[in-house]
Structure 1
Amino acid sequence: MADEFVHQFDNTLAGQDAAKRLEGPIHAERHMRIAVIGAGASGLLVAYKLQKDFNNFRLTIYEKNPSVSGTWYENKYPGCACDVPSHNYTWSFEPKLDWSSVYASSKEIFDYFDGFARKYNLHQYVRLQHQVVGAYWNNDKSEYDVSIKDSANDLTITDHCDILINACGVLNNWRWPEIPGLFNFKGTLLHTANWDENIHLEGKRVGLIGNGSSAIQVLPAIREKCSKVTTFIRSPTWVSPTTGLEQHVFSEEEKSDFANKPGNLREYRAKIETGLNGSFGIFLRNHKLQEETLAHMIGQMKQKLGDADLEAKLIPKFSVGCRRFTPGINYLESLTKPNVEVVIGEINSVTETGCLCDDGKEYPVDILICATGFDTYFKPRFPIISHKGENLQDKWATDPQSYLGVAAAGFPNYFTILGPTSPIGNGPVLYGVEMQVDWICKFIDIYQTTNIKMFFPKEEAVKDFVEYKDHFMKKTVWTDSCNSWYKNRDDGRIFALWPGSTLHYVECMKNVRLDDFEIIYAGNRFAWLGNGFSQTELDPTADWAYYIRESDDDSVPLSTAGQRKLLTKSGSKDAGSGEWSSALALLSGAR
C-alpha cells in the first residue's frame, strides 16, 4: 500500500518534493523560490513580511531603476508630493516621527521607503537595474521561467521561480500625450515623471499640459520662476484642500511631541485615518456626505478662484469623487496670477514653437511640460504566459478582470499587488496594500506547507466577482460622465476600484477562500500529513501542552463577528450621540 501511495506522485520537481513530505512532520515547510517584480513600496513590503514570518525560501526582487522606492524615486518634478497626509502615508506598523509637513515632498517619501529597506536589510533581496521582460509557465517543472534584462551589463538572463508576484504598482508607466506634432517641438519637452533636474525655468515661457495631480502640484512650484505660464486644461476637476488637513509645516515642538509623548503620534494618525475611513459616503450617489462635500467644494473653489469666468469653466458639473480629487495647495490661487494664462479646451497640435488649440490660436512657449500621467490600464508591459499558453497582456488588453485585485483567472502561482479592482481611491491606500500582501502571504503559507503544485482563481469565481462589482458600482458617483482612469475606455465600466470602502476590503481579505481556486496537487492531496508527527513534538523548546489553560477561556473567538469585535476594540467608543447613531443607520442601511 505504501508503494502505491508513493507512486501517486508525478515525476516533476513538485512531485519529488511532495514525496519527501511522507518522511517529515505535518506542514513541513518546503523550499520556495519567489520572484517579485518591482522594488517600490509594495515589493519592499513583500520582502519585509516574508523575512519576518517565513523560513526556507529564496526571494529575488527585480527592479528596473538604479534605486528602490518605485514612483517615489522616479518622480522628482517641482512640487511633487503625496496627496495623502504624510503621517498616514506609512505602513501601519512603521510610523515616521519627523515628517516636515502634512503633505511631504517626494524626496521625503523616497527617504522613508529607502530607509525602511535599509533598516530591515531588504536590499539583500533586490537586483537593481534588472527589468523583467517576460514570464513563461513551464508545465514540465511547474515553475515560471522569467526573462530579465540586466541593463547595467546589457544582458538578458533567465531565472526560475515557484511563485511570481507583480508589484509594479499603478503609477509607474508614464506616457506622452497623444497630440499630433508633439515631437516636432523645437523647445524643451519635459514629462513630470521623467523630469530633467538640470532644466532652468527662470525667465522662460512655460506651457503646462494637464490639470491632474501632477499639474496641480507643478504650477504653484514653478510660477514665480517663469516669465509666463500657459496652462492647458482639457476638462474641469475638483480641487480643494480637505478641511482640517490643509498644508502645515510641523514645528520642532510638534515633532518633539510626536517623538517623546506616549500616544501623541498614534492619536494624531488615528484621527486622520478615522476621517479617511469615514469619507466613503462621498462616493455614493445621493448620500448626505456627497451632498455636503459637493457644497463645500463649490464654495472653496469659488473662494479661491474669485473669478466668475474661471468658476464657470473650472468647477465641474459631475459629482465630487468621479475623478480623483487632490488637495491642490495654492493651485487655484495661482490660476488667477498675472503671469498665468489659462487655456481651456483641446490642443489640436504642437508646432515647433508652441501649442495650436481648438480656439484657433497658437500659444508660443520655450518649455513644454506634459503633466499627463501614466498608462493605468493594468495590462502588463511584458508577456506573462499561463500553463495553457494564454498571454495576460491579451486577456487584460481591454477589460482587465482580477480576483479581488490580487490574482488573475487561469494564471498559475501568480499574484499582483494593486491589480484591477483594488482600493486605490476608496480610503487609506497603504493599509489596503498591507492587506493584499498579508493575504498573499497567507496563500504562500498554504502553498509552502502542503503539496500544492499549481493554483489559480477559477474563471467562474472571477466572473461572479465582476458581476457583483458592476452591480455595486451603479450606486457610485464613479460612473458619472467624467474622464477618469478608473474606467474602461470603451464602455465606461469601473475596473480600477474596489466595490466598497477600504475597511470593507480589509474584512473581505481576512481569509483565503480556497473554494474560489483551482488547486492542483503533486500526487495525493493529503501527503502534507507526513510521517504522523506534529511540528510541536519535534521542537524540544515548545510547550507540548499549550492548550491547557487557566479557568478563563482566553481563546480567539470562533465567529467572524467575534474576531472583528475583538480586533477593532468594539465597545471602546461612545455610540450614544445622535450624530454617531445617524452615521450607523446610514452605514447599516437602516431606514
Structure 2
Amino acid sequence: MPRKEPRAIIIGCGVAGIALASRLRFELGYENFVVYEREAGVGGTWFLNTYPGVGCDVDSHLYSFSFNLNPDWSKRFAEQKEILEYLNATVDKFGVRPHVRLGIEVVEAIWVDKESLWRVTLRDLATDHTFTRDAEILVSCVGTISIPQDCKIAGHQNFRGKIWHSARWDHIEELAGKNVAIVGNGCSAAQLTPAVVKEAKSVVQFQRSPQWINERPNSDFSPLTKWCFRYIPLANRAYRYLLWRSTDSLHDLYTSTTGTAIKAREGATVVAKDYMLKTAPARYHDILLPKFPLGCKRRIFDPGYLESLHSDNIELTDEPIIEFTETGLKTSKREIDFDCVVLSTGFKIQEFLSPITVKGKDGVSLNQHWKMTRGAQAYKATFVSGFPNFGIVFGPNAFPAHNSVIFTNEVQIEFIIKTIFKPILKGSFNVIDVKEAAENRDANNVQKKLTTMVWSGGCTNWNLDVNGRNTTNYHDATWKFWYSLFWPVWKDFNMEGGSGASLPIHPAFKALGTTTTLGLGLGVCLYASQHGIREWRGLVQ
C-alpha cells in the first residue's frame, strides 16, 4: 500500500507565510498544503496597516526575500503600497495563490495523538460557517504585530466623535477642518503625524514616554542603479549582503558586555541627541529627550516627524490622559475637545497566536504551557515541547531589533523544512517533538543573555511581559541566529513512526564524503598512471 503524503496547514499569509509556502513549492516541489489567512488579502501587517505615511525602517533590499530579490525598489526605505505589491508579486511568481484561502479564521488547533495529526477548526468570516480540517503538520506564521492594543482609556464608549487605531485606519473619515488627537508617539505615530498635521485643522499629540529618534535619509534609486541591480550578475545580492553585514554590526548598540559595545552605544546616543536638538523645536527639547539608554525602546528613524512639530497647528504634550469625555479628552491639567482620536498605542505583542487556541499533547494549550514555564518560550525560537509537528515562525525570542525580520523568518523556515518537512516526506519519522529538557535549556540560555541587553535598561517597552521576562527579542547577532538553526540537533527531539529511513545527514558530512570519494578516485587514477592500466585492472578484480 503506497504511503499517504502528509498534509500541512499554514496559519497566516503575511511575510512568513508567503516565504514558507514559496519554499515548499520551489524547493521541495511539495503541494499538499493550505494557507489560511484571516484577512481579505495577503501581506499581513502590510495589508492591514494603511495609515498615511506608513513605511519600513529597514532597507528595501534587505527587507525582501533572499529567493526573490527585487531590482526595482523605488527608494531606500519602501512605503506600504510598494511592499504590498512586492509581496503579491511573490505570491503569484511562486504559485502560492492557489493554496491560499482568504477570509478564513483559525479558531482552534488540537493535536490528536491517536491519529498523529492536527485537527483544526476554522471559520469562514463571510458566512460564519465553521468547519474542520486535518493535517499532519501545522505551522504558525501569524506574527506578532497584527492585533492592536484595546483602548484602555476610561470612558471611551461615551465619546461622541470617532476613535480608531492606526493599524485599522478609517479612510472614510475626512480630517480636513477637524481637531484631531494622536495618542502615542512610537514608530507608527512618528510616520502618520506629519501627514495628519498637513490635513487637520489642529493636532494634539499625547506623548506617553520619550523616544530616541535618528535621522532617516530616504533617497530614490536612479534608473541606472536599478539597471545595475537587474543586469549585472550578483550586484543586487552583493548589495543586500553588505546591507545585512553593516546592519548586523548594530547589535553592539543593544549590549553592555564589552567596552566596545558600551562605547558604540555612547557614540550613537550622541548622534541621536544632536539630531533631535538640531531638528525639533526648542520648546519640546525637555520632553522629547529620553533618560533611558538608546535602544531600550525601539528606535525611531525620523520620517519627517520632528520637522512637523514646527507646524503652527500641532501641540506635543506629555500630560497624562485621565479619561474620555463626551467631546474629547481630559488630562491631568485640562479638558480638550476633539472630533477624532487616533490610537497609536501598539499591539498585543505578548499574546502570541492570539486569539487562536492551540492544544498539544494531553490537551495542554500553548498559554497553559507558557504559564507553567513563566513566560512564552520556544526551542530555537521555533518549536514548543508537547506540540508535535508544529512550528512557529516569528514567535518567542525571534525578533531581531537591529536587523531585518525577513532574514530571521527565512532562517526559521529553513529550520522547519529541515526538521519537519524533509524528514517526514522522506519517511524518516511521522512525528517529531522537541524534548522538554532541551526547550528549557535553550530558553534559560536565551534569558540569561537577555539580562545583559539594553531592553532591561529601565524603560517600559513591549519586549517585556508582566513578569519582566523578555519574550520577543533575539539576544545576539543574526549570523549567530542562522548558525544556531542551521542544522537540527536530533538528540534534542523525540521521534516516532516512519519507514525507518535514515535521518538527513549534515552537509559537512556530505562534503566530507564527497571529498573522500574524490580523493580515492584521484588516488586510483595516480596508481593506474604509475603502474600501468593492466596492473590496475588486476587490482580492481
For normalisation by structure 2, the TM-score amounts to 0.88
- Find the aligned partners of 1:269 and 1:361 in 2 and give their Cα distance: 51
Q: Which amino acid aligns with 1:289?
A: A
Give me the CA root mean square deviation. Answer: 2.2
Identical counterparts, % of pairs: 28
Q: 2:452 aligns with which of 475, 482, 487?
A: 475
Deviates more, 1:254-263 or 1:332-341: 254-263
Question: What is the SS of the residue equivalent to 2:301?
Answer: coil
- Find the aligned partners of 2:455 and 2:21 in 1 and give their Cα distance: 34
Residue 43 of structure 2 corresponds to residue 72 of structure 1: no
- Find the aligned partners of 1:206 and 1:518 in 2 and give their Cα distance: 56
* CA deviations over 1:28-51 (Å, ceiling 9, x no partner): xx6110000001111111111111
Measured at CA, do residues 399 and 475 of structure 1 come closer, stay the same or move farther in structure 2, by a change above 3 Å?
A: same
Residue 231 of structure 2 corresponds to residue 255 of structure 1: no
Given that 2:254 and 2:454 are in contact with CA atoms closer than 8 Å, whether structure 1 keeps it comes out as yes
Q: 1:495 aligns with which of 471, 487, 509?
A: 471
Q: 2:278 aligns with which of 289, 292, 303?
A: 303
* CA deviations over 1:161-184 (Å, ceiling 9, x no partner): 001000001111122331111222
* CA deviations over 1:342-384 (Å, ceiling 9, x no partner): 11032111111111112x2112111111111211114331211
Measured at CA, do residues 56 and 238 of structure 1 come closer, stay the same or move farther in structure 2, by a change above 3 Å?
A: closer
Shift of 1:194: 0.9
- Find the aligned partners of 2:206 and 2:386 in 1 and give their Cα distance: 44
- Find the aligned partners of 1:447 and 1:260 in 2 and give their Cα distance: 39
Shift of 1:546: 12
Given that 1:186 and 1:352 are in contact with CA atoms closer than 8 Å, whether structure 2 keeps it comes out as yes
Given that 2:375 and 2:469 are in contact with CA atoms closer than 8 Å, whether structure 1 keeps it comes out as no
Given that 2:429 and 2:500 are in contact with CA atoms closer than 8 Å, whether structure 1 keeps it comes out as no
Shift of 1:405: 1.1
- Find the aligned partners of 2:134 and 2:252 in 1 and give their Cα distance: 45
Residue 403 of structure 2 corresponds to residue 427 of structure 1: yes
Given that 2:428 and 2:502 are in contact with CA atoms closer than 8 Å, whether structure 1 keeps it comes out as no
What are the within-5 Å matches in structure 2 for residues 338-487 of structure 1?
A: 338-358=312-332, 360-380=333-353, 381-396=355-370, 399-443=375-419, 444-487=421-464
Shift of 1:282: 0.5
Q: Unaligned 5+ residue runs, structure 2?
A: 504-513, 523-541
Shift of 1:423: 3.5
* CA deviations over 1:273-311 (Å, ceiling 9, x no partner): 22101111000125221111111111111111141x422
* CA deviations over 1:15-38 (Å, ceiling 9, x no partner): xx8xx67xxxxxxxx611000000
Question: What is the SS of the residue equivalent to 2:85?
Answer: helix
Shift of 1:61: 0.5
Residue 174 of structure 2 corresponds to residue 200 of structure 1: yes
- Find the aligned partners of 2:521 and 2:176 in 1 and give their Cα distance: 72
- Find the aligned partners of 1:250 and 1:312 in 2 and give their Cα distance: 37
Which residue number in structure 1 is paired with residue 526 of structure 2?
Answer: none
* CA deviations over 1:45-88 (Å, ceiling 9, x no partner): 11111112224651011001111111111110000111111121
Measured at CA, do residues 363 and 436 of structure 1 come closer, stay the same or move farther in structure 2, by a change above 3 Å?
A: same
Deviates more, 1:260-269 or 1:57-66: 260-269
Given that 2:449 and 2:475 are in contact with CA atoms closer than 8 Å, whether structure 1 keeps it comes out as yes
What are the within-5 Å matches in structure 2 for residues 441-590 of structure 1?
A: 441-443=417-419, 444-490=421-467, 492-521=468-497, 527-528=500-501, 549=518
Shift of 1:402: 1.1
Which residue number in structure 2 is paired with residue 53 of structure 1?
Answer: 27
Shift of 1:520: 2.7
Shift of 1:261: 4.3
Q: Which amino acid aligns with 1:300?
A: Y
* CA deviations over 1:200-225 (Å, ceiling 9, x no partner): 11121111011111101001122111
For normalisation by structure 1, the TM-score amounts to 0.81
Question: What is the SS of the residue equivalent to 1:156?
Answer: strand
- Looking at both structures, which has the greater relative contact order when contacts are Cα pairs under 8 Å and sequence separation is at least 6? 1
Shift of 1:190: 1.6
* CA deviations over 1:537-579 (Å, ceiling 9, x no partner): xxxxxxxx998548898xxxxxxxxxxxxxxxxxxxxxxxxxx
Shift of 1:265: 3.2
Measured at CA, do residues 56 and 50 of structure 1 come closer, stay the same or move farther in structure 2, by a change above 3 Å?
A: closer
* CA deviations over 1:410-430 (Å, ceiling 9, x no partner): 111111001101133142321
Q: Unaligned 5+ residue runs, structure 1?
A: 1-16, 22-29, 531-544, 554-591
- Find the aligned partners of 2:399 and 2:179 in 1 and give their Cα distance: 40
Task: Give the paired residue count.
Answer: 504
Shift of 1:529: 6.4
- Find the aligned partners of 2:121 and 2:343 in 1 and give their Cα distance: 32
